[in-house]
Amino acid sequence: MNTLRVALDGPAGAGKSTVAKRVAQALGLTYVDTGAMYRAVTWKALHDQLDLSDAAGLTQLANQVQIDFKPTAAGQDVFLDGQDITEDIRTRDVTSQVSAVSAVAGVRLAMVEQQRNIAARTGVVMDGRDIGTVVLPNAEVKIWLTASVEERATRRYQELIDKGQEVDFEQLKLDIQRRDEYDSGREHSPMKMAEDAVLVDSTGLNIDQVIEEILHICRQIVAQKS
Ligand code: CDP
Ligand code: CDP
């Protein structure tokens, strides 16, 4: 099981990172949050006040930065060139610019190379938008995790309220829809379900139920292959 590669893709707020973390723990695999990698590059570009329409500049940046994950009890911390940026990459600023940065082909090439290098060393649960289609097309397990946009926005809203942030529900829902459209409409590696992925619709399911369903799919596939 510890060489298994699980590709977990889907739209914003579907529950990918929450579920991927716990599935990885349960199966003894390494969790790789590829969204955090695109967020890290975006954070650095904003921090350095780069021109976000300069594809060459963003590509150079993506090839220079060192992104590391360190596991913690709650999940994992994200470091860029040794600096802890776990909280910084979740700001609204980063969230609103990340789709534009991750649409740049050179940025994607740099991140995909790093993602494949990790998966070459260890079994993974990797979550993102293009894992089953581009990053790990031969992954043993491919899941497309989704939920209605209303439910995804409600989850995100609750998460931000719990953190004490002020949020407008309709604006949040629009932001999610806009990001999904951008991610699925881009030219390079658009967000899309792999043809051989299993669809898991988590609308109306709690986190434990989704994890159970995904673990069941993983175990079934492993049993079929052995
Ligand atoms: O957690 P949330 O759904 O808000 O997003 P994320 O997984 O942190 O990803 C942030 C953004 O990075 C996405 O909206 C995509 O633009 C981009 N991304 C991507 O292009 N490819 C991936 N494999 C992962 C994320
Ligand atoms: O990574 P992604 O954007 O797909 O979603 P997430 O950040 O894992 O989940 C977004 C929010 O939905 C988190 O606050 C989760 O706790 C919550 N969630 C939920 O309430 N029910 C689920 N079945 C899955 C996630």
Nearest CA to ligand 2 atom 3: 13
Q: Ligand 2: distance of its center to the CA of 159 in Å?
A: 8
Interhelix angle 16-27/207-225, nearest 10 degrees: 50
Q: What is the pTM of this model?
A: 0.96
The domain made up of 5-225 has a fold known as Rossmann fold (3.40.50)
pLDDT 10s per residue in the chain (226 long)? 588 999 999 999 999 999 999 999 999 999 999 999 999 999 999 999 999 999 999 999 999 999 999 988 878 999 999 999 999 999 999 999 999 999 999 999 999 999 999 999 999 999 999 999 999 999 999 999 999 999 999 999 999 999 998 999 999 999 999 999 999 999 999 999 999 999 999 999 999 999 999 999 999 999 998 7
Atom of ligand 1 nearest to the CA of 17: 1
12 annotated to a ligand binding site: yes
Q: Ligand 1: distance of its center to the CA of 37 in Å?
A: 9
- From edge to edge, which strands make up the β-sheet containing 198-201? 30-33, 124-128, 5-9, 141-146, 198-201
Pair 118, 30: CB distance under 8 Å = yes
17 annotated to a ligand binding site: yes
**Ligand 1 neighbourhood includes 11 CB (under 6 angstroms):** no
Pair 145, 9: CB distance under 8 Å = yes
Identity (one letter) of the amino acid at 15? G
Q: Where are the domains of the chain?
A: 5-225
Three-state secondary-structure class, residue 195: coil
**Ligand 2 neighbourhood includes 16 CB (under 6 angstroms):** yes
Interhelix angle 55-64/34-47, nearest 10 degrees: 120
ipTM of predicted complex: 0.97
24 annotated to a ligand binding site: no
CA-CA-CA-CA torsion for 7, 8, 10, 15, nearest 10 degrees?
A: -170
